[in-house]
Amino acid sequence: MNRSAGILLPISSLPSKYGIGNFGKSAYEFVDWLKEAGQSYWQILPLVPTSYGDSPYQSFSTYAGNPYFIDLDALVEEGVLTQEEVDASDFGDKADTIDYEKLYKERYPLLRKAYERSNISQNEEYSRYMQKNGWWLTDYALFMAVKARFNGVAWTEWAEDIKLRYGYAMEYYRTELYYDIEFHQYLQFTFYKQWMKLKEYANENGVLIIGDIPIYVAMDSADTWAHPEMFQLDKDNVPLAVAGCPPDGFSATGQLWGNPLYRWDYHEQTGYDWWMKRLSYCFKMYDVVRIDHFRGFDEYFSIPYGAETAINGHWEKGPGMKLFNKMREVLEHRDVVAEDLGYMTDTVRKLVYDSGFPNMKVLEFAFDSRDTGSASDYLPHNYTENCVAYTGTHDNETIIGWLDCITKEEKTMARDYLCDYRTAQKNLHWPMIALIMRSRANLSMVPMQDYLGLDNKARLNQPSTVGKNWKWRVTKEQLSEELKLQIRKLTKMYGRINWQWDDKLDA
């Protein structure tokens, strides 16, 4: 990575008249806005379908795309939906938030109509897509169709024959649910076609996409159901232990994620084949991949299945560099960002160093009055070039929200570091952004909420909570010309401008 800058904004948070951000006109306009603001990167969150809690980190598949992101206007243009049908749907009336319940009730019936009118089985492009992606999509489509047949319950609660994938049961449901299966295949084909068109447009305009890959898959996913041998499950496919992280600044009882843990010995025996396929697919979807919870490859936190908190968990050894050496052998050089936040040890630091991947620095972690011993790692004057500097991430408070919540002592620490005692707190996000911009970090990333100076009402996620996350959206009015030019000025001042377009835009 050369010295550059980018903005973190999930697809779901884009402006849209259809209740959630999608691959429609607003997404293309945002690419133009990024280009004109001198940005080189657009960081998004996982594009996968969301399950309980609406989190993109708990999905029914590590490969599938979220049907909510399909552009309905494009389906109207194709003639498989009418504008009247789309306009008659109630996706919610708030431009700055997402109503997932209304989306679920309204979006899928529309998409089903589009499928039934598509004559998709006669589409040669669809046939080619299925030939290339059937290795994961046939399991996923069957999984989703069977899940609907069992009223949406987790696959661990299905009838035993299909839960354990007996041959006769698989054949029965493939026949019985043929059109439901094809519907989900149609959704993935449509999603993929629209996403790759948007990504191509971004790349043509000098904007690279940073995607996000969770280290774990969900227990209630096609991945776990189709490949139980890869995970720490018993003979009845019940987890022996689950994933999470120990108590930390986010939670006094730790975080109990509940994801199944990998059988790393099995993966090593197979030459990490599943991981190579997963990573290869991600690099087709994104230009750069941020690997979430990178420290889990050094050591992972194992929590007894059935525990109510993460307090009684313990650390186990992960695959370490063996996985990434295989990645270099199979995939050669790829651009990866290692999310190494949280509890750090010397062995984690060594893994990050040995991998050569840039790691993450979060400014909010730099001013901790508890003197945790790691705060200085996040002070911008200590950054190396091989890192990505953030004001905060999707899991953090906004900068303004954070300033409202930290102690008086921590505010003084931040003010002292900035040498700034006059700027009103409501405007202090600009000096904080300037800190990471002027650092040595090759890439600086700023969440859109921080550029807008929004408080915690715009926070995207609060770890260890359910029901209030992943809802915030930016409005068209907030993506103003004034803000774009201000970001551009700051980006150019600190030598991070996208030089590919700079002269043309200033001409």
The residues annotated with a catalytic role in the active site are 292, 339, 395
Q: Which two tokens stand for residue 247?
A: 């108590």
Strand partners, 317: 299
E strands present in 191-282: 208-213, 241-245, 255-260
Q: Which two tokens stand for residue 64?
A: 């599938």
Query: Element (H or E) spanning 316, and its range?
Result: strand 314-317
Q: Which two tokens stand for residue 356?
A: 């050569």
> Cα(first)–Cα(last) distance of the chain, in Å?
26
Q: Would you tell me the crossing angle of helices 481-493 and 429-437 to the nearest 10 degrees?
A: 40
Q: CB of 482 within 8 A of CB of 36?
A: no
DSSP symbols for 421-459: SSS-GGGTHHHHHHHHHTSS-SEEEEEHHHHHT--GGG-
Q: What angle do CA 367, 368, 369 make, to 5 degrees?
A: 115
Q: Which two tokens stand for residue 169?
A: 């049961």
Q: How far, in whole angstroms, is CA 100 from its chain's centroid?
A: 17
CA dist 34 and 37 (Å) reads 5
CA dist 292 and 296 (Å) reads 9
Q: CB of 471 within 8 A of CB of 98?
A: yes
Among 225, 217, 122, residue whose Cα is nearest residue 169 = 225
| DSSP3 helix / strand / coil % (the chain, rounded to 5) | 50, 10, 40
Q: CB of 222 within 8 A of CB of 228?
A: no
Q: CB of 419 within 8 A of CB of 388?
A: no
Q: How far, in whole angstroms, is CA 255 from its chain's centroid?
A: 18
CA dist 464 and 255 (Å) reads 6
Q: What angle do CA 46, 483, 407 make, to 5 degrees?
A: 70
